[in-house]
A and B are shown apart, each in its own frame.
Chain A
Amino acid sequence: MIDTLVEFFQGNFWALTAVKLVAIVTLIPVSGLAIGFAELKLSAKMQNRVGPYFAGGRWGWAQLLADGMKFIQKEDIIPADADRPVFRWAPALVMVSTVGLFVVIPFWDGGAVANLDIGIFYVLAISSLSTVGILMAGWSSANKYSLMGGLRAAGQLIAYELPMVLAVIGVVIMAGTMSLSGIVQAQADFALFGWSGFGGQPIANFISPYFILQFVGFVIFFISALAEMSRIPFDMPIAESELVTGYLTEYTGFRFLFFFLAEFANMFTMSAIAATLFLGGYLGPFVDTVPWLGPVYLVTKISVLAFLMIWFRWTFPRFREDQLQSVAWKVLVPLGLANIVATAIFKVVM
């Protein structure tokens, strides 16, 4: 029965595409809601609060669903002076970038919607697309706060895209491939001076080799990812206390919900990319004999990274715009370049 189903889907391009599409379309809201709920509960824990409690009957699990329903019921207001088409398309563009990122994440061996040879290149290109959406939102809102928020986002993108690319280059040198599945496979096959692990289990099943060897790269990537998602301490494009809510100021209802969902889903995707590059993705003990453990390991690693992001969000104040630029250009870019040189030397020696 299952075999015939698998055969049917593998033979039929359109059926397979439909399945993948449904998978992504469900995964985005689910991951967004899960991380959003984790943020609500964890922040409450950090602040001596209870957090959502009543919605859904137990632990307030339905809080974000209720919020979503509320947003859908809200009036859709477009400011009179707004550039209407741009204003309307901005949230969609932000969402497109999120959807695009889900496509290449390998959940198990060969378990990506599209296993691109230039996977990481594609990720870096697509993830910047959301900033275009944010800039559109800021520009079209006809609001000075929105405009400043949008321009801040654009400035942030330029400052942080470069360190991010430099951090990724180290991994690409180590793995020798740009395909995300290939990078995970390279971590599984990793051997240090001919030593490739104990008892038939590769090193990556216990501790990710790239997390140790590319630790600098991991830190740079993580910081850049925070900046790209405009999470605290780099949330200047939103900056409630300065710019009201930045580019979101004029958005209401469903369009606001789009930004909101994209933010949380982006946390999931960026954590997934970081886990794939630096933490061995779906690798873990016994994953080659029990394949369904792969997604479990990946989600665990994503949860750890998402927890880090939430932890930062509720601990740190926010940087100033010029301080962000100087951190990016004066610290992270030189560090990234040094990391590339060191990685290249190590690769030759190894």
Chain B
Amino acid sequence: MTIEQEALKHFSEVSVAVELQTPDMTLNIGPQHPSTHGVLRIVAKVDGERVSDVTPVIGYMHRGYEKIAEVRTYPQITALVNRIDWVSGFANEVPFMAAAEKLMEIEVPERARYIRMILTEMARISSHLMFMASYPLELGATTPLMFALRERERVLDLIESVTGGRFHPNFNRIGGVQPNAGAGPTQKKAVQDLPRGFLQGARDAMDSLLKTCVEFDELVTGNEIFLARCKGVGILSPELAADFGVSGPNLRASGVAFDLRKHTDYLPYDKVQFEVATGTVGDSLDRWLVRLEEIRQSAYIIQQAVDQIPSGPLQAKVPKIIKVPKGEVYVRAENPKGEMGYYIVSDGGQGPYRLKIRSASYSNISVIPILLEGVLVPDIIAIMGSFDFVLGDVDR
């Protein structure tokens, strides 16, 4: 039954009722609403402040990337995929490149893999900082926004100095990475490498980031009102999370220590040491804490990677016109929002025959209607916000 039919049925039932009763109100939250992270629409039946039935409506952001990809070449698709989850554009490019490289059986140089790892972690930090900014804002606290965005700006500056783009780096090439000629302080065309001072800049930025994490603990995590709003709100059990394919920090907040960085080899995560942050209860507070811890862990990863990074070429030898051999491949990666997967079917041409994108936010928000059953209206925002979805990632 569509929503309209349901609403009609609902109102006809109400009108024939003889005795006096309070009909439920249908509250339409979105697609234009301050805290739906874009154009998510939620149709909620509310009795006063109590929510009884929630239907998310998605698709306002559908851009048909999977279909467009069929008529684009592999290098062109990089520019598409980094717009899926635009808060962490770089992290979307890497698994796609890894998938294509897997089909072509290209060995990516070690330095390029390290650069990819550093920038992926920076994208993770910038995505999580965006969450640190928006979530307190949704709960009514305005100032953490400025703290988080200030740090995020530092990280974005670093990404920009290497790639030339803040959100959409479009920096990966098949077989490695290619810094823009003259990007950042390096003006010489002959030198195509990391800009001078980048590694030291990354170290400094991570130091200041770790200090900001302490500030966050003081300003937000220790706040009584924040705790009152988050603790025990929107508890997601590990079983429910597994049933709905919830992944990423949302899954780990429920106590499942599943992190693809530990299980896959698309980036040299085995060379660095980090811990998988997990929660215990699976409520909104845990989702906050896990992300805060992940920022710290990502900072540690970057600090180690900056120390370890080997010298060498940035690109493997690849033909001028890239043709991927016939076959199919699925590569999954740990993105800031959760598990991101690219399934490429190649018919041997310059572009994929079919591209299927498994995006994290889509699966993550599918569990929201269950969690929103019977909560209060302010909790809709408190729960939805804690899932940290991006509508571009939901609709693709």
Given the known interface contacts A48-B150, A319-B229, A320-B376, the answer about A241 and B27 at a Cβ–Cβ threshold of 8 Å is no
**Is B379 interfacial (CB 8 A cutoff)?**
yes
A331 to B82, alpha carbons, bound, how many Å?
51
Tell which of A151, A232, A323 touches B140, judged by Cβ atoms closer than 8 Å: A232
Contact A320 B140 (CB under 8 A): no
**Is B318 interfacial (CB 8 A cutoff)?**
no
Contact A319 B34 (CB under 8 A): no
Contact A242 B381 (CB under 8 A): yes
Contact B35 A323 (CB under 8 A): no
Contact A244 B376 (CB under 8 A): no
A154 to B140, alpha carbons, bound, how many Å?
20
Q: Which residue of A lies closest to B49 (CB)?
A: A321
Q: Which residues on the B side are within 8 Å of A317 (C-beta)?
A: 136, 139-141, 223, 225-226, 229
Count of CB-CB pairs between chains A and B under 8 Å: 79
Contact B228 A242 (CB under 8 A): no
Q: How does the 8 Å CB contact mask read for A284-326 relative to B, with 1 for contact and 0 for none? A: 0000000000000000000000000000001111111111000
Task: Looking at the assembled complex, report how far the CB atom of B32 sits from the nearest CB atom of chain A, in whole angstroms.
Answer: 9
**Is B380 interfacial (CB 8 A cutoff)?**
yes
Task: Looking at the assembled complex, report how far the CB atom of A1 sits from the nearest CB atom of chain B, in whole angstroms.
Answer: 52
Interface residue tally of chain B, by bracket?
20 to 34
Contact B225 A241 (CB under 8 A): no
**Is B143 interfacial (CB 8 A cutoff)?**
yes
**Is A240 interfacial (CB 8 A cutoff)?**
yes
Contact B141 A315 (CB under 8 A): yes
A171 to B4, alpha carbons, bound, how many Å?
58
Q: Which residue of B lies closest to A326 (CB)?
A: B228
Task: Looking at the assembled complex, report how far the CB atom of A69 sits from the nearest CB atom of chain B, in whole angstroms.
Answer: 26
Tell which of A48, A240, A319, A321 touches B225, judged by Cβ atoms closer than 8 Å: A319
**Is B138 interfacial (CB 8 A cutoff)?**
yes
Tell which of B139, B143, B225, B376 touches A46, judged by Cβ atoms closer than 8 Å: B143
Q: How does the 8 Å CB contact mask read for B32-64 relative to A, with 1 for contact and 0 for none? A: 011100000000000011000000000000000
Q: Which residue of B lies closest to A152 (CB)?
A: B49
Contacting residues of chain A (189-245) with chain B, CB-CB under 8 angstroms: 232-233, 235-236, 239-244
Contact B143 A233 (CB under 8 A): no
Tell which of A47, A233, A240 touches B146, judged by Cβ atoms closer than 8 Å: A47
Q: Which residues on the B side are within 8 Å of A243 (C-beta)?
A: 377
**Is A58 interfacial (CB 8 A cutoff)?**
no
Contact A320 B381 (CB under 8 A): no
**Is B142 interfacial (CB 8 A cutoff)?**
yes
Give the one of B25, B33, B139, B381 with max A CB within 10 A. B139
Q: How does the 8 Å CB contact mask read for B363-382 relative to A, with 1 for contact and 0 for none? A: 00000000000001111111
Contact B35 A241 (CB under 8 A): yes
Q: Which residue of B lies closest to A327 (CB)?
A: B228
Contact B49 A316 (CB under 8 A): no
Given the known interface contacts A316-B140, A317-B141, the answer about A242 and B225 at a Cβ–Cβ threshold of 8 Å is no
Contact B138 A144 (CB under 8 A): no
Contact B223 A241 (CB under 8 A): no
**Is B137 interfacial (CB 8 A cutoff)?**
yes
Tell which of A47, A235, A240, A244 touches B143, judged by Cβ atoms closer than 8 Å: A47
Given the known interface contacts A144-B27, A148-B377, A318-B139, the answer about A244 and B228 at a Cβ–Cβ threshold of 8 Å is no
Task: Looking at the assembled complex, report how far the CB atom of B114 sits from the nearest CB atom of chain A, in whole angstroms.
Answer: 33
Q: How does the 8 Å CB contact mask read for B220-234 relative to A, with 1 for contact and 0 for none? A: 000101101100000
**Is A49 interfacial (CB 8 A cutoff)?**
yes
Contact B34 A244 (CB under 8 A): yes
Q: Which residues on the A side are within 8 Å of B228 (C-beta)?
A: 319-320, 323
Residues of A in contact with B (beta carbons under 8 Å apart)? 43, 46-49, 144, 148, 151, 232-233, 235-236, 239-244, 314-323
Residues of B in contact with A (beta carbons under 8 Å apart)? 25, 27-28, 33-35, 48-49, 136-143, 145-146, 150, 219, 223, 225-226, 228-229, 376-382
Given contacts A148-B377, A315-B143, 11 further A-B contacts (CB under 8 A): A151-B48, A239-B378, A241-B35, A242-B35, A242-B378, A242-B380, A314-B142, A320-B376, A321-B376, A321-B378, A322-B376
Q: List 27 A-B contacts (CB under 8 A).
A: A43-B142, A47-B145, A144-B25, A144-B27, A144-B28, A148-B377, A151-B48, A233-B225, A235-B140, A241-B381, A242-B377, A244-B34, A314-B143, A317-B136, A317-B140, A317-B223, A317-B225, A317-B226, A318-B139, A318-B141, A318-B378, A319-B225, A320-B376, A320-B382, A321-B49, A322-B49, A323-B229
